[in-house]
Amino acid sequence: MDAIGAALSENQQRVKELRQLLQKASYAYYVLDSPIMEDSVYDQLYHELLALETDFPELITPDSPTQRVGEKPASQFHSVRHNIPLYSLENAFDSADLVKWQERWRRVAPDIHEFEYVCELKIDGSALALTYENGLLVRGVTRGDGITGEDITQNVKTIRSIPLRLELDDPPPTVEVRGEAFLPLSSFETINQEREQAGEPPFANPRNAAAGTLRQLDSRIVAKRKLDFFAYTLHIPVGGSRQSAVSEGEVQLDLLSNSADVESEHIPVPNARYPIPQTQWECLELLQDMGFKVNPERSLCSNLEEVQEYCNRWLTERHNLPYMTDGVVIKLNSLALQEQLGFTQKFPRWAIALKYPAEEAPTVVEKIRVNVGRTGAVTPLAEMRPVQLAGTTVSRATLHNRDRIAELDIREGDTVIVRKAGEIIPEVVRVLYELRPPGTQPFEMPAHCPECGQPLVKPEDEAVTRCINASCPAILRKGLEHWASRQAMDIEGLGEKWVVQLVDNGLVRAIADLYDLTIEQLLTLERMGQKSAQNLVEAIENSKSQPWSRVLYGLGIRHVGSVNAQTLAEQFPSVEALAQASIEDIAAVYGIGNEIARSVHEWFQNPANQALINRLQTAGLKLAGEVSPVRDSGNAPVNQPLSGKTFVITGTLPTLKREEAKALIQAAGGKVTESVSKKTSYLVVGEEAGSKLEKARALGIPQLTEAELIQLLNASGD
């Protein structure tokens, strides 16, 4: 078989797998009301199939999901034919796709030189088609397959933001309105809490909850769940004319309103007391006049640059909205131009939906291996086919522990759904067992450490498997990297590649060995030059001046982060004081609990750790600090102006390093944490602030600039 034939055979099998999975997902969503995957995952698989069929058109079959508009409606409701058929919108995933789209429609209308775009947020809910006769709501229908939908009029009437009567003195005989029913996030959380209390499975996301709610046979349940609705387009038939409607997948709709040819014939609407819209923007304004809620975050843009600015803005700001949105719908504003451009076989040429990067995506597990951390925790990792996720390329994901492996039943070769936990750490959410190749074997955690060969142990009260060999090279490497990190001893130049060589060459067998290194020894390392060796020796020597709290943090004691280390160093002003303290003494410190206290106490009871402390003292490190602040009987600091205040720092500050700002806050009695929560008092904001700023805004937490922080510190010191 030649190379072309082999590629065709391989892709033919993949096309078959994709079709089976997509068809099963569509059936589960549309017919059973029991989704098995998120929209973003469906989109990824769909576009993989579309790309393969584009490259190998001979693989296209009539039953392929790419050849269909939608799926069957649920059989529990009365099916009705849409007055206006609904078509899908083409998807774009980046600015390059938008440019290509503009080039395509301009080839169809080369004489058009002046135009505008309307940008609207793509609401993540469930599409509805509403029919009004003489101003009264007479029918509400789901999208269905785009030709036929489900009549859920009684349920639609429970949605308060849908007017039962249009607010027009002289309404048209017939009005078609399309929009999105959705669940506000607050309602979604309440519903899931109630379902969990009742022993029912929670909804996966607000969109599934909205769709499930609309299909309730009891409209009283629908009313209780407080669905909301945004209208975004309408059609007023004039002179018997009907135009095609458009739907973005199963969500975003768009209808043409009063086509240009009808308007040019000057067919009147008898006694009409409202303007006939000529643009999409005017349609939205008329919808508001009729009494509909229209999303206020829309924008009129004069070019693609402004469109991209709008999309970039809402990529981050959408997380502050009280509802879910996963993209932007862009439409040409002129209805006459829409009419001129018309449709392809499946899409309107005059509209497109920009989808934001998926927060979940499918990929294939190529290998499962384990990683040994600095505390000895053995963590299984999935090495995967690289995939774009939330704007970055992901090729590895944590599998947490033995229990999670068993729960997922994950195997090499599996297709999995991966996401970023907390928008930072990639993790596997679930396995798509339907795509599991034959002959796979369950993964078993190793019985021995892959680094040192010693037996692994799993404490009864923990889910984590551990290597307890203190001399394990993996534990030593991770411990050295932690010791040299910025929040610990801040040894500039001591990165991962040098740590690996130092351990592998036997130059460092414990942290204290760093302080015995010479330039001559370092020069034996691969690609280590004279200047680099001299700089590293100086950086190691300079780290001796770091305070006792940083040394304590650098030791890598389990559960002791930088904040806890600072707290303990304040209460126990020397290593001797902390080493001699009982579990009860340590646990009594404000902000320190029993788990941390036990971990610290056990660490100092270990003879190997005691020997390490002695060597660090001999090397000249600071293992004692200033006397801790006076504390009241509750162990809370007194006479400190920022006592009880919790700060989070995000972005790059103009003049202060983050550690300097942190030290100033702590010196005034404040606490600095890494994550924003309801307990955060202030967020200190610098340039290029990230998701912490978004969360702080959502929680209503006050923000401070560096100047305002300094002003607060100065005022507190008066």
Distance CA 465, CA 447 (A): 9
Q: Which of 16, 24, 122, 346 is catalytic?
A: 122
539 closest CA partner among 583, 483, 598: 483
Active site residue 293: no
The answer to whether residues 351 and 330 touch, using CB atoms and an 8 Å cutoff, is: yes
Cβ-based neighbours of 124, under 8 Å, separated by 6 or more: 39, 182, 205, 206, 207, 251, 323, 324, 325, 326
In this structure, the number of other CB atoms found within 10 A of the CB of residue 281 comes to 17
What letter represents residue 327's amino acid?
Answer: G
What is the Cα–Cα distance from 129 to 233, expressed in whole angstroms?
10
In the chain, what's the furthest Cα-to-Cα distance? 98
Q: What is the 3-state secondary structure (H, E, C) of 146-206?
A: CCEEEECHHHHCCCCCCCCECCCCCCCCEEEEEEEEECCHHHHHHHHHHHHHCCCCCCCCH
What 3-state class would DSSP assign to 664?
helix
- CA contacts within 13 A on the Cβ side of 30: 23
Rounded to whole angstroms, the Cα distance separating 498 from 566 reads: 29
Query: Which residue in the block uniquely carries the two structure tokens 């993540």?
Result: 124
Contacting residues for 419 by C-beta, under 8 A, at least 6 apart:
359, 360, 361, 389, 426, 427, 429
CA distance 639 to 51: 67
d(CA 468, CA 463): 15
Gyration radius of the chain's alpha carbons:
31
Instruction: Pinpoint the alpha helices (H) of 235-374.
Output: 260-264, 280-290, 304-317, 335-341
Distance CA 698, CA 695 (A): 5
Nearest-angstrom CA–CA distance, 584 and 630 = 19
- Enter the tokens of residue 361: 């995506």
**Residue among 161, 329, 327, 307 at smallest CA distance from 253:** 329
Tell me the HSE value of 499 on the side-chain side, using a 13 A CA sphere: 21
> Residue 414 is which amino acid?
D
* Residues with Cβ within 8 Å of residue 339, at least 6 apart in sequence: 243, 256, 259, 260, 261
Instruction: Give the residue numbers marked as catalytic.
Output: 122
